Structure 1
């Protein structure tokens, strides 16, 4: 394999492995590497755990493992980002958040959680030593944790002599099954009841494609996402957030409560309607039903439910535009989505709002919104190619003045899902 063709984090991990792990143990396999991408989400934020629709694409930023199979059940890891080791055994893996290894660094708990989920579905794993690298911004809303989890699954497959495989045809695990497994691993590792958006996007990535995912049925289809005149620009606020402390679980509980109240109200007036009896999530409530009953909800629940129901409609609007090749028009819907996240779902912050406001004043920026769980992280911007430099200059000049912080800017491309390589 020509290492010059590998993504930079993969090359970095491969190059560092012999320097980090040089204690002369007898390995049971050749040097190999596994990786998985982060993602951006065009539209459909906080809809995944409400059974709704999302429209992500995997990006050319990855988490990567490079290492060798051991002859025992030990996993030893070195993180190039955190500059620290982690070690655990594949025996006695945790099954709940409360059973997590308190002595492990946070990043390693995701790797451990994936192992626990694989063993739960009867996969036989082997230990390995590996360097862990990556260029997905941590805590930036591009799903660094999901990229790490999916890369972990790919690494376990590689270093366990392909005891299982991930793919569409004749694979032990389909991409969606792998995504669900890694979603549960994240819930174990973090205590956050996340939806499946991030893991599915990482597993399902294809170059020049966005993915429409139904988060209830888990059906998905690909949509064209390539326009030489439009760039996806991700701007990092440099504000980091912890989802567990940012009221993520609280938002989920509020949506569940709003669903229960709306279902009871609709059943009161339509007791014979079988469709009404099947209401389980906000996704099942139409905009017309919501308009009819919203004033009977507490003000807070009205805002939360109103955002989610409208956001599902926005996803479908963007799908229609992409199918018609009208990507520029999709940008207008991003502005509206950000307003909903800011005012109704209340998960934005001053820095995210500042970036969106700056982008709005730059000619050629088609749309922008905050991305991810909220309270920090990144914005996603659809920008005409000839306006990217103007946006960069505006952010570099105005963002520090408004926030006292520096922002970083990346241009992302729709990319492939997880992969691995065995070196000669």
Structure 2
């Protein structure tokens, strides 16, 4: 980027999933906040369709065209900005301006803090700015506010259609729009509760006075590539299969599991019976029942009660419910590893009022809600316990404290 070129700069934070493990893509709800860490991005418009993205931290650079036939590079970080560029070129035909983009992140990589979604949001912000996409009729017909934009960017990532904005290949994961919703709509000092498919705001919950978040990244990469992607996608496919069985048995057209469960007071019992009597096929009925039990436990029981407890300042009850969510992810969802299980337990032992693993799982991070005044002592104790238990993994682990931060914002 030349020194005289006009520039646009943004900060895009990483996501903290307080509760709502693997619920958003089935129309469920989550409680989310964002960290004070994330991506800083600077962009300059070009006069051609070329896009150049530089990771300022390591100097790695990729170049590609703003092209509807662009083939993203799977398994490489460039998959994320390339997927955005391809989808933008398809949904907003005729745009002509690429960009020179430099970005850097202080998020621990592959730690379950949605660094990939944050990179995609950052790329969208740059390309939308230089091409004035918000003035396009396609944008105005489909995207009315930031919750709509979050829903759309979720479909850019998972490949689905949003309104009249036709879907495409995505990045390869069958996720939802929780990450994008938090990144674009978070409120400083608060946890936000949303439901999804479509994105709907439910309530805003203040972080208790005198408390802050501590994050422990396990050092076990929560990659969404290869076998890890398959594990992640299987959790999504199980819920899709349950919903498909519901439609076949009832004739209803509910697209998402949450809608099926909300269809009437008998829905839970009937759906359970449908799954119990499903014919063995590509997905074992026992696995389907276990996945359904997790969704019901997390989405219908734990999360609403935890939100109520946090709203009234009952931290003891909030901590109990978060413990139950962590246990359900270990026993029912099956997306935990020994390192994240230990981090959650040791955080509670060190004095956290609540602690849980979050994100896609199969590695990643744990959040802990702690007294801000005792943050340094807590981190020292937490770090030391982890180093003693998992010395090899601790070499790549990252620990820090963060308030519930602001949503993505423009710097210049």
Q: Please give the range of the TM-score, normalised by the shorter of the 2 chains.
A: 0.7 to 0.9
In the alignment, structure 1 residue 402 sits paired with structure 2 residue 363? no
Residue 31 of structure 1 aligns with which residue?
7
Give the corresponding residue for 1:65: 41
Give the superposition deviation at 1:263. 6.2
Q: Which runs of 5+ in 2 are unaligned?
A: 159-168, 262-266, 279-284
Determine helix, strand or coil for the equivalent of 1:193.
Answer: coil
Q: Please name the residue that 2:116 is paired with.
A: 145
C-alpha distance in 1 between matches for 2:19 and 2:153: 22
Change (3 A) 1:308 1:125: farther
Do the aligned residues in 1 keep the contact of 2:245 with 2:275 (CA within 8 Å)? no
CA contact (8 A) 1:165 1:171 kept: no
Q: For residue 252 of structure 2, what is the aligned residue in structure 1? A: 277
CA offsets 1:328-358 (integer angstroms, 9 cap, x no match):
5322211111111111110000111111121
Alpha-carbon contact 2:346-2:382 (below 8 Å) kept? yes
1:220 to 201, 204, 208: 201
CA contact (8 A) 2:117 2:180 kept: yes
Q: Distance in 2 between matches of 1:60 and 1:93?
A: 36
Deviation at 1:155, TM superposition (A): 1.3
Aligned partners of 1:164 and 1:282: how far apart in 2? 32
| Aligned with residue 292 of structure 2, among 305, 313, 317 | 305
Aligned length: 380
Distance in 2, matches of 1:258 and 1:172, equals 30
CA contact (8 A) 1:223 1:322 kept: no
TM-score computed with the length of structure 2 as normaliser = 0.82
Within 1, Cα distance between the matches of 2:135 and 2:109? 27
1:233 aligns with 2:220: no
**Aligned twin of 2:328:** 340
Judge conservation of contact 1:34–1:158 (CA < 8 Å) in 2.
Answer: no
Measured at CA, do residues 259 and 184 of structure 1 come closer, stay the same or move farther in structure 2, by a change above 3 Å? closer
TM-score, normalised to structure 1's length? 0.80
Partner of 2:161: none
Residue of structure 2 equivalent to 1:421: 411
1:304-383 matches, within 5 Å, as: 304-313=291-300, 314-327=302-315, 329-362=317-350, 364-383=351-370
2:134 is paired with a residue whose SS is coil
How big is the alpha-carbon RMSD for the aligned residues of Structure 1 and Structure 2?
A: 3.0
Partners of 1:233 and 1:82 lie apart in 2 by: 27
Deviation at 1:193, TM superposition (A): 1.2
| CA contact 1:77–1:85 (8 Å) conserved in 2 | yes
1:100 matched to 2:72? The reply is yes
* Contact 2:14–2:107 (8 Å) recurs in 1: yes
Contact 1:58 1:204 in 2 (8 A): no
Unmatched 5+ residue regions in structure 1? 1-20, 268-275
What does the per-residue CA deviation read over 1:303-333, in whole Å, with 9 as the maximum and x for residues that have no partner? Answer: 1110111111222112222333435532221
